[in-house]
Amino acid sequence: MNTAISDPLLSDRRQKIIHLNTALCRIFEIRYPIFLAGMAGGPGTVGLTAAVSNAGGLGTLGAAYMEPEAIRTAIRDIRKLTNAPFGVNLFVTRAQDDNSRTPEVQQELNVMRAKFGIPNVVAEEVKTPDHFEQQFAVLLEEKVPVISTAFGVLPPHMTEQAKAAGIRIVTMVTTVDEAILAEQAGCDAIVAQGSEAGGHRGTFDIANRPMGANIGTMALVPQIVAHVQVPVIAAGGIMDGRGLVAALVLGAQGVQMGTRFLTSIESGAHIAYQHKLLASTEESTVITKVFSGRPARGITNEFIKVWDQSGVEPLPFPTQNTATRDIRNAAAQQNNSDYMSLWAGQGLRMLTAGQSAGSIIQETIDQAQTILTQIKKG
């Protein structure tokens, strides 16, 4: 006799969960349709990645700036903390530096360096390591469950290798045309990144869109859903169960959240960064290229204001990112958020301090289930 659902309350709870068990969950073998955004540069730690996966979502390690062997170590450390699926995010771009205007840019940066006692940098060329192929090779060798990409799709030979290894591929897009290209390239799911999203814009080609494609999440998601067959994951301004339900209603199969986890216990975001996040509002962010050379949404601060007033055009990515790193690192060491890159989305009033990633996931799911139940009751 099957008595597994003898408790009416348990039965009711399981029935609610079914509403959130989307095709995305089945494809990626996760309990809840929530992905952690791959936050490179420190905020997305091994602990945060594992915590989100352990809580039923898909944790994602932002590995774009990591050395290949550091990625290998991180993957193995994640596996010590969770048996659940997780992903690793890379930037699909080659580190080809453009030093045509380096002297002009370094002169402006030297003014900022003086504030931190950093020696002036003369006009030598900026050299950014190009690790993309080696990074990808590590993901193959370690057989990570999921590879997610920003700034474009994997080259065909890499997609074939990943598929042959049983690895799922997720691609971030900012337009319908990019979504169609991503599906044609063989991705298993698409992240529709609305303009509200924090961090770098996933726009494939910024030559024609210098500040990235910035279509709101509400408008972008249903249009992408109408043009592709693979599951769509909504991203941008989603901070809780209300955002999850809204995304599902728009046709998405799940959501990706990054900013929501920046002030979690497991976050690697600098404490000064976290304080700034908690003190900011939906009006505090701007899209800027001054830190990295690619458009990204973050909290406006003195670095951005000073640079904008200079009238100097940032170097292209990744050259600007490499050139500004010493200033950003010094600012972090001196707890000075005015000269750090404070990537953040627009849902800042919904942040909470000191909450675990697991608690955030469960709170989001509980709220979504409550809303769906209320809708069902009419």
Main-chain dihedrals φ then ψ at residue 172, nearest 5 degrees: -85, 135
Q: Are 43 and 267 in contact (CB under 8 A)?
A: yes
With a pLDDT cut of 90, the percent of the chain lying above it is: 90
Q: How confident is the model over 68-75, as a mean pLDDT?
A: 98
The Cα–Cα gap between 323 and 363 comes to: 41
Per the omega criterion (within 30 degrees of 0), is the bond before 43 cis? no
Question: What ranges make up the beta strands (E) of the chain?
Answer: 34-36, 59-62, 86-91, 146-150, 168-173, 189-193, 199-200, 232-235, 254-257, 285-288, 296-299
Confidence of residue 136 (pLDDT cuts 50, 70, 90): very high
Alpha-helix residue ranges (DSSP H) falling in 38-82: 46-54, 68-81
The Cα–Cα gap between 182 and 225 comes to: 13
Q: 326-335, long-range: CB within 8 Å, 24+ apart, which pairs?
A: 326/113, 326/118, 326/121, 327/109, 327/112, 327/113, 327/116, 327/118, 327/303, 328/291, 330/113, 330/116, 330/117, 330/118, 331/116, 331/303, 332/270, 332/272, 334/116, 335/270, 335/271, 335/272
Residue with tokens 């301004």: 237
Pairing of strands 168-173, 232-235: unpaired
pTM over 0.75: yes
pLDDT tens, residue by residue, 176-200 = 999 999 999 999 999 999 999 999 9
Tokens in use for 260?
Answer: 């929501």
Mean pLDDT of the chain, nearest integer: 94
Of 30, 102, 40, whose CA–CA distance to 66 is shortest? 40
Q: How confident is the model over 307-325, as a mean pLDDT?
A: 96
pLDDT tens, residue by residue, 191-236 = 999 999 999 999 999 999 999 999 999 999 999 999 999 999 999 9
Alpha-helix residue ranges (DSSP H) falling in 175-254: 176-184, 217-225, 241-249
Task: Determine the pLDDT at residue 3.
Answer: 34
Does residue 17 carry a pLDDT above 90?
A: no
Q: How confident is the model over 290-310, as a mean pLDDT?
A: 97
